[in-house]
Amino acid sequence: MKKVVAILSLVLFAGAMQTTYASVNPIVVVELQDELVKITTDELPDAVKQTLASADYQGWAVEEAYHNKTKDHYELKVKNEVETKTLKFSKDGKEIK
């Protein structure tokens, strides 16, 4: 009986030794938050002001303006008589879609 227990113990021990433990390397994803700085419409680049004065944006009023320093563009909350939306512009006055 002692031999059976000894053999069984050796078999279990050998099986446990062959078990491989996978090492886990966690992947860390860091998302940078955009640095938005509230500005006045007077602080917008002239190119953005000219774009807003064009016929494409006629009837829209800027309610809030932000400079996104992380991406170096401008985010504007604009409103007309029926809706409000956010527009993004490059410093060259081109709309970013």
Q: 31-68 pLDDT, tens per residue?
A: 667 799 999 999 999 999 999 999 999 999 999 999 99
Structure tokens at 64: 């809030």
Task: Report the percent of the chain where pLDDT is more than 90.
Answer: 63
CATH class of 2-96: alpha beta
CA distance 39 to 44: 8
For residue 62, report the phi and psi dihedrals to the nearest 5 degrees: -80, 120
H/E segment holding residue 95? strand 95-96
Q: Using 50, 70 and 90 to split pLDDT, how confident is the model at 25?
A: confident
Q: Among the listed ranges 8-12, 33-37, 50-54, 80-84, which one has the minimum average pLDDT value?
A: 8-12
Q: Is the pLDDT of residue 80 over 90?
A: yes
pLDDT given for residue 22 in this prediction? 56
Output the average pLDDT for the chain: 84
The dihedral sign for the CA sequence 67, 61, 64, 34 = negative
Structure tokens at 96: 């970013």
DSSP letter assigned to residue 55: G
